[in-house]
Amino acid sequence: MHSSPFTRVLHESFRKIVLFIFTLLSLTIISGVLMYFIEGRTGGFANIPDSIYWAITTLTTIGYGDIVPQTDIGRAVNSIITLLGSSIIIIPIVIVIGEIYNSLYKAISGGSEDK
């Protein structure tokens, strides 16, 4: 039974996307805990779950503004996390497009693995 090209691309991308999600979850937890210890209980960082919520909204570049770093180092970390979030959003797209390219290349070249 033949699967659609899109299904094959998703299957071939699966491990990379799972690794990406694991990395993103790790980065979210680490940055949330880091900000909790940097900020103390100021600016809405009252506990680790609230700090992880801040990390999620910052990494996804939503940034509601309900939890805001008050210290200079907290603001610096906030800026870095925001920049990381902006660049991280594109990674799954690049993974899938890369697999589409590889699939098309194999189809055009007759299935040869030489690149």
Give the domain CATH number at 23.
1.10.287.70
pLDDT of residue 6: 74
* Residue 18 covered by a domain: yes
Q: Are 45 and 67 in contact (CB under 8 A)?
A: yes
Q: Which domain holds residue 38?
A: 5-108
- Is the model's pLDDT at 115 over the cut of 70? no
- Is the model's pLDDT at 68 over the cut of 60? yes
| Gap between the Cα atoms of 40 and 29, Å rounded | 16
Region 10-39: mean pLDDT is 92
* Torsional class of 68: left (φ above 0), alpha (ψ -120 to 50), beta (otherwise): beta
* Torsional class of 47: left (φ above 0), alpha (ψ -120 to 50), beta (otherwise): beta
Who's near 82: CB < 8 A, 6+ residues apart? 58, 61, 63
- Is the model's pLDDT at 92 over the cut of 90? no
* Residue 33 covered by a domain: yes
* Residue 113 covered by a domain: no
Q: Is the pTM of this model over 0.85?
A: no
Q: Minimum mean pLDDT among 33-42, 65-74, 100-109: which range?
A: 100-109
* Residue 115 covered by a domain: no
Domain count, the chain: 1
Q: Are 41 and 7 in contact (CB under 8 A)?
A: no
- Is the model's pLDDT at 45 over the cut of 80? yes
